[in-house]
């Protein structure tokens, strides 16, 4: 079975010597999961070979360090738009007003793990599963292009930054003049590092509490 490393504030660095001996430098432990087809087809990127590479990687989060960040995007999926999500701009009320968002339907906010994205499993599987059961507003938080390798110098700060931006989305929904949804009615779902990020969101909400975190 082919496997990939998934990170939950965890990093392993490995290299192979000329005599094919494998060495592992473990900062913390990793766990392994099967690679889905969509992940296998992703272009292979050069992996860091040392701690220095991780500290100096160009894939660290780049400025501006404020929310909304251009590489952290919120895509809305409904039964009629489940194949192609609508990008929600939290600085523009019209973005939600003229979308297919329906306040009569339950709202799910999904945060993927490291190396994930809105078009990768399990985000795609989750959307399909929900829409077989009814009508939903499903918002996928896509930060797949924000960080492509774990950046050691930001490993403690980055999840808090992501939590801050998601809190901005929650307050955008709460205070929207036309399609308002209070935090108590939101169901947030995170997997891998996404679950950790959602655990931090509550720290940045000015009022209200998330209804459910999975």
Cα gap 149→153, rounded to integer Å: 12
Rounded to whole angstroms, what are the CA distances from 136 to 25, 61, 80, 124, 146?
44, 32, 10, 14, 27
pLDDT of residue 148: 62
The pTM is what? 0.72
Q: Where are the domains of the chain?
A: 3-56, 73-213
Please check the confidence at residue 83 and state whether its pLDDT lies above 70: yes
Q: Which long-range contacts (CB under 8 A, 24 or more apart) does 60-67 make?
A: 60/147, 60/151, 60/153, 60/154, 61/146, 61/147, 61/151, 61/154, 61/158, 61/161, 65/161, 67/161, 67/164, 67/165, 67/168
Cα gap 18→87, rounded to integer Å: 48
In the structure, how many helices (H) and strands (E) does the chain have?
6, 10
How does pLDDT run across 120-166, given as a tens digit for each residue? Answer: 888 889 999 999 999 999 999 988 776 666 666 666 777 888 899 99
Q: Tell me which CATH code domain 73-213 carries.
A: 3.40.50.1820
């Amino acid at each position: 079975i082919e496997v990939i490393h998934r990170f939950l504030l965890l990093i392993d660095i490995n290299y192979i010597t000329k005599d094919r001996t494998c060495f592992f430098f473990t900062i913390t432990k990793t766990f392994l999961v099967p690679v889905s087809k969509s992940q296998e087809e992703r272009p292979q990127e050069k992996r860091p070979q040392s701690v220095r590479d991780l500290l100096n990687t160009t894939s660290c989060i780049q400025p501006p360090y404020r929310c909304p960040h251009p590489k952290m995007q919120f895509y809305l999926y409904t039964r009629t738009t489940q194949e192609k999500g609508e990008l929600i701009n939290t600085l523009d009320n019209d973005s939600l007003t003229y979308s297919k968002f329906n306040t009569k339907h339950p709202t799910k906010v999904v945060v993927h793990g490291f190396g994930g994205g809105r078009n990768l499993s399990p985000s795609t599987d989750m959307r399909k599963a929900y829409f077989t059961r009814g009508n939903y507003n499903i918002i996928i938080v896509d930060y797949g292009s924000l960080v492509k390798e774990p950046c050691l110098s930001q490993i403690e700060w980055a999840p808090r930054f992501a939590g801050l931006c998601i809190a901005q989305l929650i307050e955008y929904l709460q205070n929207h003049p036309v399609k308002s949804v209070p935090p108590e009615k939101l169901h947030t779902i995170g997997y891998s590092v996404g679950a950790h990020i959602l655990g931090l969101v509550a720290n940045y909400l000015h009022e209200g509490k998330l209804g459910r975190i999975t």
